[in-house]
Every structure is written in C-alpha cells, then in structure tokens.
Chains A and B, each alone.
Chain A
Amino acid sequence: MGFLTVGLIAIVTGGQTPAANASSSSKGDVDRGAYLVTAGGCVSCHTDSENDGVPFAGGHRLATPYGVFVTPNITPDKETGIGAWTDAEFLAALREGRAPDGSAYYPSFPYPSYAGMAEQDALDIKAWLDTLEPVRQPNATHELAWYVPGRWAMQIWQRLFSPWQYADNPRTDPEWQRGAYLVRHLGHCGECHTPRNIFGALDTARELAGSGSNKKADDDKAVDGTGPNISSDRKNGIGSWTRDDLEFFLEMGMQPNGDFSGGQMTTVIDDNTALLTPEDRRAIATFLLNQPAR
C-alpha cells in the first residue's frame, strides 16, 4: 500500500516546521526526533486543539474517570514550557515521571509506558522540541476527583507500579520487537486499550483487553483514556482482522466492514499512525495480531 502514504510522510514535519536558528543543548538528532514525536503521539495531548491552541503549548483537557487533567506546555519557553530543562531532566520526566523539582507526575502523563523508550530516542525527541517556537502559556491546574490523592502520593504510586511490567516472552524477530516498542512504549496504546486496576495502574495481564467505550455520545461524559479491546480475541477484539486490514485501518481509519467509527482513535490515526512508515504500521500489526486473545 505504498502509494497510499504518498504525501502523508511530509506532514510529519510540514505541520510544525521547526524554527530556524534555534539553539539546542541536546545531543539529539532533530530529524529522527520529528518522526519519534509523531510515533509518540505527543501533539495529540499537548495541544488544545478544541480551542485552536498552538501545537505543543498544552492546555488540552483530558476528561478521565479521575477528573480533568490539563496537559502542560512542552514548547521551549524557559518559564512556562520546558526550555530550561537539561537533557537529564527531560529523561527523568519522560521515563520516570519526575519533574525537575523532584516531584512526581500523575500517570496521566504516560511515563510508565515511555519508561521503555531508548535514551537516544528520548534525546532526539527533546532535540526536535527544542527547535519549536517558544510559546508563553502558563500551565493550568488539574481538576481532579475528590478520591484522587495529591501529587505527593505519586512517589509511592511510582514505586509500586511504574514502569509497566510485561510478563510474556518477547519474540526475537525485529518486526515483532519494533511493533512491541511502538505499541507498548512510544505509542503507549495500552494507556487507553488496557484495563486499569483500582489504583489506576495498567493490568498488564489483560494487556489490550479494552477499558470501555470512549464514545463521546454525551459531551460531559468522562471517557478520555478508555478504549476498546484490541487483543486478538475474535469476538471482542480484532482477531478476525487480517494484517492488511489492520495496516489499512492504521493508515485510513477504515474498519474491515467498511465503517469509519470515529472517537479518539481518529486523532491517533491522524496525528500518529497514518504518518508512520508502512514498515512501522506493519510492525504494529504484527505485534498486535500476535497478542493472545483476551
């Protein structure tokens, strides 16, 4: 399906052209970073698209069962963004959920998934983010449910649950491994498609078994961070899909029955999977269709 991607790859960088002459202290590769930012889906959450916000300046409201998390500004503004961060601080935030002041982030930021990201990939992401135009936009505070403890408790939570652990035996072929990397870590698919336990940690024994409908039938419904079963169960999951079906879905959004169902996956496809290389979509499909039925 090579021809279907013609023109799409260009959008990876076309949407947010890095500012010229930007300085960077990072050891990362900007071009690789652009692609990894896409595969990480960063823009979907860190952009207030409902109010035409500047990409990566934050302000997107994630309405979850735990309350509303408002995503932060990750443009390189030194005061309101992450422009003052060192490489080490960026790595700690992305992979360990630790802010530069030492405090712990809520796992609405999917660091338990990103923990498995290669260090060089993370640095490449930073290098690309550093080339963005700094946007001065202070972060808004989260509006959480009464039963969600303060951020102090997240240090304990992190010790108990982060990073996510997977008990299965990894396959050795590169395509499966690349798929696992994209699905479990960079693309953090499980953050929506894997059910959570009572503490909000992913139940990885039921990886990709679905966490409920994310249909926005009612605008006030808290549904962000949920998604359907995408394990290879033939009835509840996508076990009846072929690899071609799945690759086409990740590129075009069409299900094998010809339906385009919408929901948050629309954004994931537009911002992330449609812009990946055909090889990466194939790797994702290989990994997903070889997951056990759940």
Chain B
Amino acid sequence: MSYIFGRKLILSLTCAATLFATVPAVQADDEKHDSDNNEARYRHSVMEAMGSSFGALALIMTNRVQRPDQLATQAKALAISASVTPTLFPAGSEGGDALPLIWQEQEKVAEAAQRAVDATAALAAAAEAGDKAALSKAFKAAGESCKGCHERYKAEDE
C-alpha cells in the first residue's frame, strides 16, 4: 500500500466517521467495558448498588410492594453505599461513564460527592423516623444530589 493511498484511506475514514456521527458513540460505549480498569469497575458497581437501593425504595414508597418495614433497611443500604462516593474517583481511574472533567474539577467533585453522602444519610434518618412527608422530601433531595453530579460529569446513557 503506497503512502499516498494510506493518506487517502485515512482521509476517507475520517469523512466516514464525520458523516456517521453515531460511530464514535458506539466505540465509546465499547470502551466502557475496559476490564483492566478495576477502579472504574468498582465505581460502576457502587453506583449500580445505589441505583438498586433507590429502585427498591421507590417500589416501597409507591406501595407497589407491601414492605413498609423494609423502608429503613433500604435507605440505610443506600446511605452505606453512598458513604464511599468521595473515594470513587482516584487519579488514574479515568474511564467508564466518568467524564474526564471530573479530574479537572476535583474540588467541586469532592463537594458534590459529600452532598450525596449527606443527602442519603438524611434520607436514611427520615426513613427511620417514618415521617412520610419528610421522607418524600429527603428522597427528592438525595436524587438531586445524584443529578447534580451526573448532569456535568457522567457520560450519556446509551
């Protein structure tokens, strides 16, 4: 293959990639499953655990399952998972759904992570107390603490 041909090939590939803007997104998706980055996998697992706890709480709160006695347990599980959030973004663990911006704005990320710790602790306290109005408010606040971070620092869901 001649040098010229190689350049042409690269050029046409670049054009193709530009035309089909979805191609880079698909590739990025594959990169998420980088099994060597165990810190990113751990981060993902903890986040999934929080999501699962939120899901369980929602089912109880909307009476889709009759388990009012397990509300406090699930809220506590959520708060325990969330308590390690500030440690989830160590240097060198870039990858997965986490956008590179996280490592450029570490101070802001630390604050946001602490908000998640505090908000989920407050949710656990509200669930323990059994005050429905307070619980609803605390659930929303805990969700806000997730959203606040995901909006800026998490890659788009596929």
Q: Is the CB of B140 within 8 A of A6?
A: no
Interface positions, chain A 212-262, Cβ under 8 Å from B, are: 213, 215-217, 244, 248, 252-254, 256-262
17 A-B pairs besides A5-B136, A217-B99, A254-B55 with CB distance below 8 A are A1-B62, A1-B63, A4-B139, A215-B155, A244-B62, A252-B58, A252-B140, A253-B140, A259-B51, A260-B143, A260-B147, A261-B147, A261-B157, A262-B150, A262-B152, A262-B154, A266-B147
Interface positions, chain B 98-155, Cβ under 8 Å from A, are: 99, 101, 132-133, 136-137, 139-140, 143-144, 146-152, 154-155
Q: Is the CB of B51 within 8 A of A3?
A: no
Q: Interface size (B, Cβ < 8 Å)?
A: 32
Q: Is the CB of A1 within 8 A of B147?
A: no
Chain A's closest residue to B149 (CB) is A262
Q: Is residue A138 contacting chain B, with contact meaning CB distance below 8 A?
A: no
When the two chains form the complex, which single residue of A252, A258, A263 contacts B151, counting CB atoms closer than 8 Å?
A263
Interface positions, chain A 1-54, Cβ under 8 Å from B, are: 1, 3-7
Q: Is the CB of A248 within 8 A of B58?
A: yes
CA distance A266 to B101 in the complex (A): 21
CA distance A75 to B27 in the complex (A): 48
Interface positions, chain B 49-106, Cβ under 8 Å from A, are: 50-55, 58, 61-64, 99, 101
CA distance A27 to B143 in the complex (A): 40
CA distance A90 to B101 in the complex (A): 44
Q: Is the CB of B150 within 8 A of A258?
A: no
Interface of B is mostly: helix
CA distance A1 to B63 in the complex (A): 8
Interface string of B29-65 (1 = CB under 8 A from A): 0000000000000000000001111110010011110
Chain A's closest residue to B155 (CB) is A217
Interface string of A195-227 (1 = CB under 8 A from B): 000000000000000000101110000000000
B residues apposed to A, CB below 8 Å: 50-55, 58, 61-64, 99, 101, 132-133, 136-137, 139-140, 143-144, 146-152, 154-157
Which 7 pairs across A and B sit closest by C-beta, in order of nearness?
A: A262-B151, A258-B51, A258-B55, A258-B54, A260-B146, A262-B147, A260-B147
Q: Is the CB of A3 within 8 A of B133?
A: yes
When the two chains form the complex, which single residue of B58, B101, B140, B144 contacts A258, counting CB atoms closer than 8 Å?
B58
Given contacts A7-B133, A258-B55, contact A252 B150 (CB under 8 A): no
Q: Is the CB of A3 within 8 A of B54?
A: no
Q: Is the CB of B152 within 8 A of A257?
A: no
**What residues on B are CB-neighbors of A1 within 8 Å?**
61-63
**What residues on B are CB-neighbors of A217 within 8 Å?**
99, 101, 152, 155-156
CA distance A6 to B137 in the complex (A): 9
Q: Is the CB of B62 within 8 A of A216?
A: no
How distant is A144 from chain B, measured CB to nearest CB, in Å?
23
CA distance A67 to B136 in the complex (A): 39
Q: Is the CB of B156 within 8 A of A215?
A: yes
A-B contact pairs, 27 of them (CB 8 A): A6-B133, A6-B136, A215-B151, A216-B152, A217-B101, A217-B155, A253-B140, A253-B144, A253-B147, A254-B143, A257-B51, A257-B55, A258-B50, A258-B51, A259-B54, A259-B146, A259-B157, A260-B54, A260-B146, A260-B150, A261-B151, A261-B154, A262-B150, A262-B151, A262-B154, A266-B144, A266-B151
